[in-house]
Amino acid sequence: MRKNKHKLLTISILFTLATGVIYVINRIIFATAALKNLLHSSAKNFYNWRFGNIYYQKKGSGSPLLLIHDLTVYSSAYEWNQVIDELAKQHTVYAVDLLGCGRSEKPKITYTNYLYVQLVCDFIKNVIHEKTDIAVCGYSASFVLLACHSEPDLFGKLLLINPPAPASLNKAPGKRSKLYKFLLEIPVFGTLIYNMKSSQSNVQLLFTEKYLYNPFHITPELIDTYYEAAHKDFGHSKFLLSSICGLYTNNSITHALKNINQSIVILTGEAEPDGEEIAHTYTELNPAVETCTLKRAKHLPQLETSEDFLETLNIYL
Q: Note the pLDDT tens digit of each residue in 277-304.
A: 999 999 999 999 999 999 999 999 999 9
Looking only at the bridges linking them, the beta strands covering 91-96 and 132-137 are: unpaired
Q: Note the pLDDT tens digit of each residue in 70-103.
A: 999 999 999 999 999 999 999 999 999 999 999 9
- The pLDDT, as a whole number, for residue 44 is 73
Domain 45-316 fold is Rossmann fold (3.40.50)
Q: Is pLDDT at 31 greater than 80 in this prediction?
A: no
- The pLDDT, as a whole number, for residue 42 is 66
Contact 278, 165 (CB under 8 A): yes
- The pLDDT, as a whole number, for residue 307 is 93
- The pLDDT, as a whole number, for residue 4 is 61
Mean per-residue pLDDT of the chain: 90
- The pLDDT, as a whole number, for residue 127 is 96
Q: pLDDT class for 41, splitting at 50, 70, 90?
A: confident
Q: Note the pLDDT tens digit of each residue in 8-17.
A: 666 666 657 6
Q: What is the 3-state secondary structure (H, E, C) of the chain?
A: CHHHHHHHHHHHHHHHHHHHHHHHHHHHHHHHHCCCCCCCCCHHHEEEECCEEEEEEEECCCEEEEEECCCCCCCCHHHHCCCHHHHCCCEEEEEECCCCCCCCCCCCCCCCHHHHHHHHHHHHHHHHCCCEEEEEEHHHHHHHHHHHHHCHHHEEEEEEECCCCHHHHHCCCCHHHHHHHHHHCCCCHHHHHHHHHCCHHHHHHHHHHHHCCCHHHCCHHHHHHHHHHHHCCCCCCHHHHHHHHCCCCCCCCHHHHHHCCCCEEEEEECCCCCHHHHHHHHHHHCCCCEEEEECCCCCCHHHHCHHHHHHHHHHHC
Q: Which of 21-30, 40-49, 118-127 has the lowest mean pLDDT?
A: 21-30
Q: Which of 4-18, 98-112, 154-168, 298-312 has the lowest mean pLDDT?
A: 4-18
Q: Is pLDDT at 22 greater than 80 in this prediction?
A: no
- Domain definitions of the chain by residue range: 45-316
Q: Note the pLDDT tens digit of each residue in 167-185.
A: 999 998 999 999 999 999 9
